[in-house]
Amino acid sequence: MGEVLSVSGLKKTYELKKTIFSYRKDKIIAVDGVSFVLHKGKTIGIVGESGSGKSTLARCILFLERPDGGEIRFTGQVIDYGERELLRSIRKKIQIIFQDPYSSLNPRKKVFEIISEPLLFHKTVEKGAVKDRVFEILKTVGLGGEFIDKYPHEMSGGQRQRVAIGRALSTDPTLLVADEPVSSLDVSIQAQIINLFLDIKENMGKSMVFISHDLSVVRFVSDEIIVMYRGKVLEKGNKESVFRNPLHPYTKMLLNSSLGGIPKIQIEPIGNEKDRGCVYKDHCSERTGRCMDEPPVLFGDGDHRVACIKY
Amino acid sequence: MLYKRLFKNQLALTGLIILVPMFFCAIFAPFITKHNPVEPNLKEILMPPSLSHPFGTDMLGRDVFARVVYGSRISLLVGFVSVGIAILIGIAIGAVSGYFGGIVDEIIMRFVDLMMCFPTFFLILTVIALLEPSIWNIMVVIGATNWMGIARLVRAEILGIKNKEFVMAARALGLSELRILIKHVLPNAMSPVYVVATLGIGGAILTESALSFLGIGIQPPTPSWGNILTQAKDNIEVAWWLSLYPGLAIFLTVIGYNLLGEGLRDLFDPRRYYRLS
């Protein structure tokens, strides 16, 4: 199995200027030391609530943001951000599907233009064959040919999300990054779109990074799961072993709440540099004195790792 | 769909009802009136309105109706060309400023602030006084002093659009920055520009009339609403029709553009747009 994506020690911080006159800058750590390897045809699920750095991670994987530390290799290649042509040719191999299909489609373009634009720009197909290819893509995502002349606002959320998936597939990417792709859809539609993702994964052999705050959604599509909190990886492992035997208190809490148990607690997002100790210490139900100033490191065997001093 | 809503909108419709006949007159001027707008006829000086001269004649015996009709060509030309120039400059500068941001944005916006500090009308007066007052100079100068509002508007729109997800998706597709700006960002920033441009045409027509009235605009004998008024003011005690009709023409045209602009503003309001569609 070929290695599609390898992320090691990825770090991204944002500087927050209070006012234009103050020189004091607050640093916000969005992603802190995230590492994983994604193999061909596999799907990695990233779970965490809003503010846990999932979307920043997605943008880094797409090479839309430059990380401050660590390294991302795509099919074994390290990317030089200065080389624009190379960057562009690599970008089309990595496509993203966003959460909100209302804002991820250009409101002034018809479905045909949305899907054919990348085909024409990259000259992946001959001019005469573009229309056939667009129909083919629409069929793949479960839309009929009549959608070709529709504007985004003439379609439902599920249909729009299918178009967004079709656009992502149009460049024949190696890797798909799905950033909360079903969170804004109705539950019945969610199931349809998840099935579509399963189809893409199994029949087209695409690798995927599937980001969601909803464990039950991630469970369907992923082979491996990463649990993130405040930019850090708390638990990581094989899907079955994470679901059967969650180790980290936060994962347990998430699992319970996805079964309708504990209501979600309000959490202030994303870490500050001054923080010491475990990122989850303020809300942990199994906290001990050591959690306050000893940051846990990720350890365990290859199939299941956890960052918690309890183990 | 947009046309249907355009006809349902009373403001826009009123504007169109005023403006469409004006365009018609300007284009088909020779068919509307048989009189020559520039040839003096000393036998019929300062005649009050009658059947053969519906708007009367001026102190050189020229038919005022013909002069007003031919004058509308000048007004419309000045309105469209100068606003066109302003839009081109405004969009280019606003787009670069908003899309690329950072220090470029800062410098451009300070320059815009600087430009806005000049009292525009006196700037135009000075420039025209130094150059020769031809219609092309007037259009260029009006255009070159009215782009700042459009630049700011385009910049503000782009600031909102450039972080939308469809722009990020376009970038992920590997499209070039220029293509993203022109094909994805700018088309979504245009609706308020149409509104401001429509309102701007009225303003440009007023400026041209004022310049012509002061004698540094369109030069006689070419008729323009402004220079008809200049000649009218010398005879206002004896020939009211000389002032009334060109004045009315300016008033109606400007109000027509303003109504159309207001109507377009309603049409392009996204909240209304989504509710109706």
Greatest C-alpha distance within chain B? 76
What CA–CA distance (Å, rounded) separates B273 from B277? 6
All domains of chain A in start order, with CATH: 3-93+173-306 (3.40.50.300)
Dihedral, CA of residue B128, residue B131, residue B133 and residue B137, to nearest 10: -80
Please tell me if residue B182 touches chain A, with a CB cutoff of 8 Å.
no
Instruction: Please name the residues in contact with A305: beta carbons below 8 A apart, sequence gap of 6 or more.
Output: A235, A236, A237, A298, A299
pLDDT at A18: 56
Residue A196 has a CB neighbour count (10 Å cut-off) of 19
Q: Give the model's pLDDT for residue B1.
A: 62
Other Cβ atoms within 10 Å of A135 Cβ, number: 17
d(CA A259, CA A253): 10
* Beta-strand pair A25-39/A3-17: antiparallel
Higher pLDDT pick, A80 / B274:
A80
- What percentage of chain B has pLDDT greater than the value 70? 96
Instruction: State how far the Cα of A307 lies from the Cα of A7, in Å rounded to an integer.
Output: 18
User: Over chain A (311 residues), what is each successive 10-residue block's mean pLDDT?
Assistant: 84 72 68 89 87 85 87 84 80 88 88 91 84 92 90 89 92 90 86 90 90 86 90 88 87 74 48 66 76 78 81 73
**B173–A92 CB contact, under 8 Å:** yes
Closest CA to A62 of A106, A97, A35: A97
Do the chains contact at B166 and A117, CB–CB below 8 Å? no
A253-262, A301-310, B54-63, B220-229: least confidently modelled range: A253-262
What pLDDT, in 10s, does the model give residues B14-53? 999 999 999 998 999 888 888 888 888 888 788 888 888 8
Which SS3 state, helix, strand or coil, does residue A34 take?
Answer: strand
Here the ipTM equals 0.81
Question: How many whole angstroms separate alpha carbon A140 and alpha carbon A196?
Answer: 9
Q: Tell me the nearest-neighbour CA distance from B118 into chain A, angstroms.
A: 28
Contact A104 B175 (CB under 8 A): no
The confidence score (pLDDT) of residue B276 equals 44
- Closest partner residue to B172 among A64, A103, A107, by Cβ? A64
Q: Is A96 within 8 Å of B171 when comparing Cβ atoms?
A: no
pLDDT of B70 over the 70 cut: yes
Paired sense of beta strands A207-212 and A43-47, if any: parallel
- In chain A, the residue whose alpha carbon lies closest to the alpha carbon of B176 is A88
Of A64, A105, A171, the CB nearest to B171: A64
Compute the radius of gyration of chain A from its Cα atoms.
Answer: 20
Out of B169, B171, B277, name the one closest to residue A153 (CB). B277
Task: Say if CB A139 and CB B191 are below 8 A apart.
Answer: no
Taking alpha carbons only, the member of B223, B233, B221 closest to residue B33 is B223
Q: Return the residue matching tokens 């284009």.
A: B27
Q: Which of A103, A149, A179 to mutate to test the interface with B (most CBs of B within 10 A)?
A: A103
Instruction: Label residue B96 by pLDDT band (50, 70, 90).
Output: very high
φ and ψ of A59, to 5 deg: -65, -35
Nearest residue of A to residue B186 by CA position? A108
pLDDT at A261: 45
Which residues pair with residue A176 across a beta bridge? A95, A208
| A94 at interface of B, judged by CB pairs closer than 8 A | yes
CA distances from residue A11 to A27, A34, A67, A224, A229 in whole angstroms, order as listed: 12, 7, 6, 21, 14
Q: Which of B173, B275, B276 to mutate to test the interface with A (most CBs of A within 10 A)?
A: B173
Please tell me the predicted confidence (pLDDT) of residue B2. 67
B141-152: pLDDT as tens digits: 999 999 999 999
Domains of chain B: 76-276 (1.10.3720.10)
Residues 6+ apart with CB under 8 A from A158: A185, A186, A189, A192, A193
The predicted model scores a pTM of 0.80
* Structure tokens, A237: 């492992």
Q: Which of residues 162-191 of A touch B (CB under 8 A)?
A: 164, 167-168, 170-171
